[in-house]
Amino acid sequence: MLRVENLSVAYGGVNVIRGVSFELRPSLVALIGPNGSGKTTLLKAIAGMIPYSGEVFIGSTNLRSVHAGERTKYVTYIPSTISALPDMTIGDLLLSDNSADVALLERYVRIFGVENLLFRRIWEVSSGELERALLARGLARHAKVLLVDEPLSYTDVKYQLVIMRCLRRLANEGKVVIVASNQLNPLLNYVDHVLALKDGKLFINASLGAGVDEGKLSELYGVKMKVIVVNNTVDVVPVDETLSED
Amino acid sequence: MAQLSFGAVTLNPLHVLEDGLREILTATTGLARYRLERALAGVVVGASLALSGYLIQTTTRNPLGDPYLLGISSGALFAVVLTFALPASAITLFVVRPFVALAGGIIAYLLTLLIASKAGMTPTSIVLSGVAVGTFFYSASLFPQYFILRDIHKVFAWSMGSLVVVNISKPIAIAFALTVCTLYSCVSRNVLNALSISDDFVRDLGRDPSRERVILTAMAAILASFCVAYFGVIGFVGLASPHFARRLLGSGDARYIIPLSLVFGASMLSLTDVVAKTVFYPIEVPVNVIVSLVGAPTLAAIMVGMRRYAKG
């Protein structure tokens, strides 16, 4: 349903994304990769928020043919940080989206536990609470493709699971949901597919059915990675070899 | 707009004392007419500075944003100082000087815009280039001031701001600009809300944040330049009005903040102008001095008070 063909992005003469191509059915997808590998840039390009070369199709629609104001009906990018004017409240943030489905918004506000924060100023709430509010705002649109940038970075473990369950359900309902994050646990326990970026190129593009490839992950991050399975829960932990030297 | 103006005019106690609004409006001679014009100036200048301040604060996401953040007042000051080299005729005083000040303010803005656009047109680049341009023109204006010492008090008086109206066309010109800018801001309320949170949200609306910044700061610059050119530098109203509105509402939504800021700006300047011309009678104090003297503690009190209230 989402097809990305030879997508490249250049910032000031430097190629940040270099010829990325992939095709995804409705599914929950992890987008992983080291800091600066281009995850956010790739998501923003797919969302049509920055200039790119190559093509992005959703279904049979080329996103270039969609009017800019209509794009969020197809694809929506959900950031995890903002730099708002002080005095804006969480309520202002949630209601600043006029394409939102208000009933849906109310549902997500409850699911993500932000209903008591509506009159708090943005700078007064914690990063995790802000992240949840941004997620509620972004999910309250009926976009076919959801691009979620670092939703797990600041949230506590309970809401990490709440968020992943919620995104899992959206994928089951027929959406393509791409989650950019390096929180491999819990991420890898919920996703169907893994995309990994390294230096702006697609390094891993694999369904998770075959299990997690330790070797590939080690190469991706440049440290030894070990897969541990406890009670059917997968965790991938970095192994610091200097710790076991003595 | 009319409703707003009359609302604020009736707040002006001098006119409440008159025999009703109709009589003032039909007055053709002397004091009543002069006062009406001055009241009109207070309302439109106050409202314009408030809207200008709101637009600057929103586009730069800077709570310290005020209409002069783009270097406008310094550009106008520099231009005005240059006019003191001309022979001091009535034409210089009433025609050339406001026009030159307007041009100076707008040139300063364009320069700020040029530098900011080379630097990516981000909130920070606008603030920094505005400060650079403002500082440059301010310092540049000191040179000639140093050599025209005999007129220095005139420059000083001009830079302090006064609502003395010599020509009714001035407040009317500002009212026209204000109406256009207010309408555009209301139409752009979604963009303004998005801009005050994140550029990503503006892109979600299918708009280019840099382009929107150029348009909206241009409006702020035009409003502020008109005010500076015709009535001198009147500070604080532009900075404080949007804050008063936001603090009062506990929200930053453009739909409520724009009208409320306009009302606050208009009332604040009208009321303080009354104080400015009466308290030290028969000497008239520059309105800029009074509005800051009264306004600054009020803003501080509101911030502290609302904070305590919010804590419950």
Residue-wise DSSP of B35-79: HHHHHHHHHHHHHHHHHHHHHHHHHHT-TT--GGGGSHHHHHHHH
Q: How many domains does chain B have?
A: 1
B residues 183..202 contacting A (CB < 8 A): 190, 193-194, 196-198, 200-201
| A23 occurs within a structural domain | yes
Note the pLDDT tens digit of each residue in B224-253: 888 888 888 888 888 889 988 988 888 888
Give the CA angle between residues B94, B99, B105 to the nearest 5°.
130
Indicate which CATH number applies to the domain containing A27. Answer: 3.40.50.300
What CA–CA distance (Å, rounded) separates A224 from A241? Answer: 8
CB A100 within 8 A of CB A76: no
User: Which residue has tokens 């928020």?
Assistant: A49
| A211 occurs within a structural domain | yes
Tell me how far CA of residue B282 lies from CA of B277, B278, B287, in angstroms.
8, 7, 14
Tell me which DSSP letter residue A75 carries.
Answer: E
B141 CB contacts (<8 Å, ≥6 apart)?
B74, B77, B78, B81
The total of other beta-carbon atoms located within 10 Å of residue B14's CB is 18
Yes or no, beta carbons of B252 and A82 under 8 Å apart: no
To which H or E segment does residue A80 belong?
none
Token pair of B53, please? 């301040």
Decide: residue B246, CB within 10 A, 0-12 exposed, 13-18 middle, 19+ buried: buried
CB A188 within 8 A of CB A30: yes
Minimal Cβ distance to B251: which of A47, A89, A97: A89
State the pLDDT at residue A75: 92
Yes or no, beta carbons of B123 and A84 under 8 Å apart: no
| A112 occurs within a structural domain | no
> Above 90 in pLDDT, residue B51?
yes
Q: What is the mean pLDDT of residues B103-109?
A: 88
Tell me which DSSP letter residue A13 carries.
Answer: T
Indicate which CATH number applies to the domain containing B281. Answer: 1.10.3470.10
Q: What is the mean pLDDT of residues B130-159?
A: 78
Note the pLDDT tens digit of each residue in A50-97: 889 999 999 888 988 888 888 888 999 999 888 888 778 899 888 887
Yes or no, beta carbons of B204 and A79 under 8 Å apart: no
| A90 occurs within a structural domain | no
Global confidence as pTM: 0.84
Tell me which DSSP letter residue B173 carries.
Answer: H
Yes or no, beta carbons of B200 and A79 under 8 Å apart: yes
Give the residue numbers spanning the domain of A25: 2-74+182-244
Chain A nearest C-alpha distance from B198 (Å): 5
Range with lowest mean pLDDT among A12-16, B156-160, B295-299: B156-160
State the pLDDT at residue B307: 58
Q: What residue spans of chain B are helical by DSSP H?
A: 2-11, 13-16, 21-26, 30-60, 72-83, 90-91, 97-118, 123-147, 152-160, 169-187, 189-195, 199-204, 209-231, 237-249, 254-278, 287-311
Higher pLDDT, B140 or B294: B140
Note the pLDDT tens digit of each residue in B198-232: 888 898 888 888 899 889 988 998 898 888 888 88
Q: What is the mean pLDDT of residues B281-293?
A: 78
Higher pLDDT, A96 or B144: A96
| A82 occurs within a structural domain | no
State the pLDDT at residue B100: 84
Yes or no, beta carbons of A89 and B198 under 8 Å apart: no
Give the residue numbers spanning the domain of B165: 2-311
As a whole-number percent, the residues of chain A with pLDDT over 90 amount to 42
Tell me how far CA of residue B89 lies from CA of B84, B86, B92, B163, in angstroms.
10, 8, 5, 21
> Above 80 in pLDDT, residue B14?
no
Chain A nearest C-alpha distance from B241 (Å): 14
Task: Tell me the β-bridge partners of B265.
Answer: none
CB pairs under 8 A between A and B: 74
| A123 occurs within a structural domain | no
Tell me which DSSP letter residue A234 carries.
Answer: E
Yes or no, beta carbons of A84 and B200 under 8 Å apart: no
> Above 90 in pLDDT, residue A46?
yes
Q: What is the mean pLDDT of residues A113-142?
A: 89
